[in-house]
Structure 1
Amino acid sequence: MTCINIDEEKLLSSSASPESNPDFLVIRIIGRIVLSVLKQCWALSSTMFITICIFYWIFGGISAFVLLCFSAAGIVYRAGDQLLYYPEIPPNSRIFVPAPNTVDLPFENIFIKSMDSTKLHAYFIPQPQANQCATILFFHGNAGNVGHRLPNVKGLYKHLQANLLMVEYRGYGLSEGTPSESGLYKDAQAALNYLFNRDDIDHRRIIVFGRSLGGAVAIDLASRTCNSDRIACLLIENSFTSIPDMAIQILPWKGLRYLPIWFHKNKFQSKRKVTSIQCPAVFISGLSDQLVPPTMMLDIYTHCGSERKLLLQIPNGDHNGTWTRQGYYAQLERSIHDVCSDRILHQQQVQHLSVHTV
């Protein structure tokens, strides 16, 4: 079993729309499960139905019921990716990817080979003197493509004076392949490796940024031993502790909390992984987030193993629009300076910081 973590392009409608009602959200999730079974698993479903009938005829109702439960679990497990990844929302997201020059940003249109040779599409947006500033590796959420994040990226480019690499996960935008948890982790590692293969940027000043689903991808990347000295700062915004935790949060079925972890195809266990992170980290939490409870961001921050970490709480920030709130970029810039000025700005050691609130 799994659930969706709906990001910017999945929540384009206003708060007054039916989608903002939890009951309608549950109906949509259930409907997507049914459609996934019909579209993706019809052959398996038909086979299981025939097998169940045979079991019922030979062994009786109990055996058939047990087989039915296993079959349903298997079908839902196989449909897990359909419930989490939305690369085709909004429509034409796999065909048209807005370019940075549409918001007056310079860019290089590049393609990167992932760790399994899957070709990934990316935009590199350089500052005039690219080797004299930090570089942000930007991981997007679970819907749309990198072009839909350009207004936010323009703000990061302008206010943080940093280069940016925006990479599209496999199966998103113009990238090849199909989304999967392990695949996204490979894509993130390939993007970081790409930055270290460039000779026109400062490798000591690479910042990894992830929002929502991208936050889970960024945490996995930063938790890997091979990257412990490669990431100068980690920025996580409105992300979750794990997909099983999100399933419990979104779906009103009390039995979900008793399901074993292996029942979920996608896990993204950020709360467990964040304990091994040692690099400076800033956790940005919109306190008006109606999708991912702000308590999850607090939980991730609390369990983070870094001695230089900071929780930046924005009272009126929602899941998709925290970055649009007044003072966001100024507070983010100051937070980065506070937690890692020794690695990003002045090469000075700073003490561990507690919660910082806008």
Structure 2
Amino acid sequence: MVSVNLDEEEKMLAGPQTPELNPDFLVIKIVGRIVISVIKQCWAITSAMFLSICFFYWMFGGISAFIVLSVSAAGIIYRAGDKLLYYPEVPQNSRIFVPSPNTFGLPFENLYLKSLDSTKLHAYFIPQPQPHQCPTILFFHGNAGNIGHRLPNAKGLFKHLQVNILLLEYRGFGLSEGKVSEAGLYKDAQAGLNYLFSRQDINHSKIFLFGRSLGGAVAIDLAFRQCNLGKIACLLVENSFTSIPDMAKQILPWKGLKYLPLWFHKNKFQSKIKVSSLQCPVLFISGLSDQLVPPSMMLDLFTQCNSERKLILQIPNGDHNGTWTKPTYYSQLKRNIEDLGSDRVLQQSHSHSHVHTV
């Protein structure tokens, strides 16, 4: 196996999540992805759309043609929503080569799980020497790459927090089967949690959820579901967003976006609504130098969360992909998790004095 250098990994994963991209270039890139997606997959539909527009223009005039154009374009953008959000093939060969934990000196079990709809999912389970005596983290990754690209971070969690880790690979990513979708990701997350509860060698009362970026929205949904009430010991959300429609307004400088109805967005991931119903302890980890997801979104999630045990850890020099590489990251993470179990957090649950900045 070839070792993945930490700096190289950040560059590989930066493609769709690069915080330094110029906004104008990002718009061009997104529009380009729509065009390419349409050409590759929807050529028959677009040809029919073009002929329909010409027909309506000839028969009924420009207004009718414009209406047809608007409706058709909205339909194409809706269907292209998955292409705009998910990047399972970035970096190159991410669907073929998944780095192994033993490359980083980690013990592991190579697993294949069945999702709720029987989709075959790839996963790594990384156990401590005595797995029953420590917490277990169910790790949800972002919108690009595969679980192998998260192994340097997993090694840090394994070493500094003394936890078992289940790295779950969503459908359509890495070696997992299926096609990625919002509903599918939710099913995969539930399957991962169900698997942990099927294991007899771990402590079921110490299961943590961890999600970064897109994974944060997946983790929030899992903790939000009533069937999981009381099953989650702690939820950790890092550099995530309030919703996909909110992110669209941030990334695309088109004022008309705010007037689009919710159903226009194929992927919604409405975390801001869901956090208001959370009851488990929650730690929000916010890199204040995140130039992709505005740190104000993390503060908004923290404010809207109604859990009696919640904290927000703000790291001034943390960017979107690399907050976990900062020197104090793991020590602060460990301290905040311990604080979530203290009475002090309960006493401060109605104030903002439990915002930690390092």
TM-score scaled by length of structure 1: 0.93
Deviation per CA, 1:211-253: give whole Å up to 9, x if none: 0000000000000111111000000000000011111101111
Cα 1:24–1:141 change in 2 (3 A) is: same
Contact 2:242/2:300 (<8 A) preserved: yes
Question: How far apart are the structure 1 equivalents of 2:39 and 2:11?
Answer: 27
Does 1:261 find its partner at 2:262? yes
Shift in Å, 1:58:
2.3
Deviation per CA, 1:308-341: give whole Å up to 9, x if none: 0000000100001000101100000011111135
Q: In the alignment, which residue of structure 1 is the partner of 2:111?
A: 110
Q: In the alignment, which residue of structure 2 is the partner of 1:11?
A: 14
Contact 1:288/1:318 (<8 A) preserved: yes
Kindly report which structure 2 residues correspond to 1:167-316, keeping only aligned pairs within 5 A, or say none. 167-316=168-317
Question: How far apart are the structure 2 equivalents of 1:14 and 1:274?
Answer: 24
In the alignment, residue 298 of structure 2 is paired with which amino acid? M
Q: In the alignment, which residue of structure 1 is the partner of 2:7?
A: none
Q: In the alignment, which residue of structure 2 is the partner of 1:326?
A: 327
Deviation per CA, 1:283-303: give whole Å up to 9, x if none: 000000010000000000000
Q: In the alignment, which residue of structure 2 is the partner of 1:123?
A: 124
Q: In the alignment, which residue of structure 1 is the partner of 2:80?
A: 79
Kindly report which structure 2 residues correspond to 1:18-33, keeping only aligned pairs within 5 A, or say none. 20-33=21-34
Question: How far apart are the structure 1 equivalents of 2:175 and 2:149?
Answer: 13
Aligned residues: 345
Question: How far apart are the structure 1 equivalents of 2:16 and 2:120?
Answer: 32
In the alignment, residue 171 of structure 1 is paired with which amino acid? G
Deviation per CA, 1:108-155: give whole Å up to 9, x if none: 000110011000000000000001100000000000000000000000
Structure 2 stretches of 5 or more lacking a match?
Answer: 1-9
Question: How far apart are the structure 1 equivalents of 2:256 and 2:16?
Answer: 31
Question: How far apart are the structure 1 equivalents of 2:12 and 2:314?
Answer: 23
TM-score scaled by length of structure 2: 0.93
Does 1:93 find its partner at 2:94? yes
SS at match of 1:115: coil
Q: In the alignment, which residue of structure 2 is the partner of 1:3?
A: none
Q: In the alignment, which residue of structure 2 is the partner of 1:345?
A: none
Structure 1 stretches of 5 or more lacking a match?
Answer: 1-6, 343-347
Question: How far apart are the structure 1 equivalents of 2:255 and 2:238?
Answer: 28
Identity of aligned residues (%): 73
Question: How far apart are the structure 2 equivalents of 1:47 and 1:340?
Answer: 60
Question: How far apart are the structure 2 equivalents of 1:198 and 1:341?
Answer: 28
Question: Please, what is the CA RMSD of the aligned residues?
Answer: 1.9
Shift in Å, 1:14:
12
In the alignment, residue 140 of structure 2 is paired with which amino acid? F
Greater alpha carbon shift after TM alignment, 252-261 vs 206-215: 252-261
Question: How far apart are the structure 1 equivalents of 2:48 and 2:16?
Answer: 39
Shift in Å, 1:60:
2.2
Cα 1:21–1:114 change in 2 (3 A) is: same
Question: How far apart are the structure 2 equivalents of 1:303 and 1:333?
Answer: 24
Contact 2:17/2:321 (<8 A) preserved: no
Cα 1:27–1:294 change in 2 (3 A) is: same
Deviation per CA, 1:24-76: give whole Å up to 9, x if none: 11111111111111112111101111122222222222111101100000011
